């Protein structure tokens, strides 16, 4: 059995996927790289087959009809043979030295018969044109290189979340969690992290800048204008997070608080994008989202609504909306997203 399976979802990725895969190949034969061609119309499929031919036993090409990012991730998980599982998007890449350290830790877990549910590392917002590359580190909240439970987790800062770029899950935990990402939907990376997190009992943090998260293409899904155009998909993910994890039923208070904070930031992002669009249609959708939360999880709704950002998102006046947008812009500068 491989130590690590890495799924690389690809859709029309011919122009940048080689760089991604080449960095992953430095992991050697303890890693399997699953290049998932999600119905591409360019040379992605041929490139995937080329890598499988050149690196037998390491690279596997998985071809499927277009189903979106979530379907590609699920295809990778279905085909995974490694003890641990990670997703690396085809326009991103990994650091070789950090990679070696992570594989060493996974090797020690497996050979020592130790099951660790979640391995966390840092990621870099590799934003085009940015002089300073923001690093998302967790050293303030997670003890380094220790197997811990949620009771040993410290306090996360605002804007500091464990995202898909940070996580390596134990493969069987992902399967047992019932993770099932929707097809033809963007922003499912939030579900990929959030839903299995409720099953995590053991965490190991490695303080290395492993994952480079590229931000800069005009057509990229995290571009703000693109997110506004796809707001219905953002709302769908927001609602699925609420539906698939019942926060009030989570017994560990620190895990419950962490997941609540994650739900809060996604709800704020959904709301602010609809406010930013400035259309009556999207403002009505914002109200519908908050009504949905109230109807489906009153416990979460009243906590969200009482918070400063929850109040700001629901001020139905030009001044209130201007305040919400200003807070959002400040957060962009501080945390480097979008």
Domains of the chain: 2-215 (3.90.550.10), 224-335 (no CATH)
pTM value is 0.92
Q: What is the pLDDT of residue 336?
A: 47
Split at pLDDT 50, 70, 90, the class of 287 is very high
Return the ∠ at Cα 9 (arms to 204 and 23), rounded to 5°: 65
160's enclosing H/E stretch is none
Report whether pLDDT(232) > 60: yes
**What pLDDT score does 24 carry?**
98
What's the gap between Cα 128 and its chain centre?
A: 20
Q: What is the pLDDT of residues 83-98, one digit of tens each?
A: 999 999 999 999 999 9
In the predicted structure, residue 314 carries a pLDDT above the cut 90: no
312 φ/ψ sector (left φ>0, alpha ψ -120 to 50, else beta): alpha
Residue pair 195/107 in contact (Cβ under 8 Å)? The answer is no
Higher pLDDT, 161 or 20: 20
pLDDT tops 90 at residue 133: no
Over residues 278-283, mean pLDDT = 91
Confidence of residue 144 (pLDDT cuts 50, 70, 90): very high
Distance CA 153, CA 272 (A): 30
Q: Tell me the pLDDT band of 116, cut-offs 50, 70 and 90.
A: very high
* Phi, psi for 91 (deg, rounded to 5): -100, 5
């Amino acid at each position: 059995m491989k130590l690590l399976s890495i799924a690389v979802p690809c859709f029309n990725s011919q122009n940048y996927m080689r760089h991604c895969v080449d960095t992953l190949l430095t992991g050697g034969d303890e890693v399997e790289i699953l290049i998932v061609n999600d119905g591409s119309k360019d040379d992605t499929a041929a490139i995937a087959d080329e890598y499988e031919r050149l690196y037998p036993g390491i690279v596997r090409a998985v071809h499927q009809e277009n189903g979106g990012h979530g379907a590609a991730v699920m295809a990778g998980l279905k085909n995974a043979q490694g003890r641990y599982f990670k997703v690396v998007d085809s326009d991103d890449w990994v650091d070789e030295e950090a990679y070696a350290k992570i594989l060493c830790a996974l090797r020690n877990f497996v050979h020592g018969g130790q099951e660790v549910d979640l391995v966390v590392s840092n990621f870099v917002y590799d934003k085009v044109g940015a002089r300073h590359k923001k690093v998302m580190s967790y050293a303030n909240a997670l003890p380094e290189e220790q197997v811990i439970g949620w009771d040993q987790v410290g306090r996360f800062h605002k804007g500091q979340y464990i995202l898909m770029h940070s996580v390596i899950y134990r493969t069987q935990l992902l399967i047992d969690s019932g993770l099932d990402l929707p097809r033809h939907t963007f922003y499912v990376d939030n579900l990929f992290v959030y839903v299995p997190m409720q099953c995590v009992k053991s965490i190991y943090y490695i303080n290395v800048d492993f994952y480079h998260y590229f931000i800069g293409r005009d057509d990229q899904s995290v571009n703000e204008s693109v997110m506004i155009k796809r707001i219905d998909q953002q709302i769908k993910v927001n609602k699925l997070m609420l539906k698939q994890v019942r926060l009030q039923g989570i017994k560990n208070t620190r895990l419950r608080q962490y997941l609540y904070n994650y739900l809060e930031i996604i709800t704020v992002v959904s709301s602010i994008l609809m406010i930013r669009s400035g259309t009556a249609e999207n403002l009505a959708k914002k109200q519908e989202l908050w009504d949905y939360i109230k109807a489906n999880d009153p416990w979460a709704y009243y906590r969200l609504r009482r918070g400063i950002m929850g109040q700001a998102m629901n001020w139905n006046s030009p001044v209130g909306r201007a305040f919400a947008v200003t807070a959002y812009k400040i957060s962009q500068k501080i945390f480097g997203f979008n």
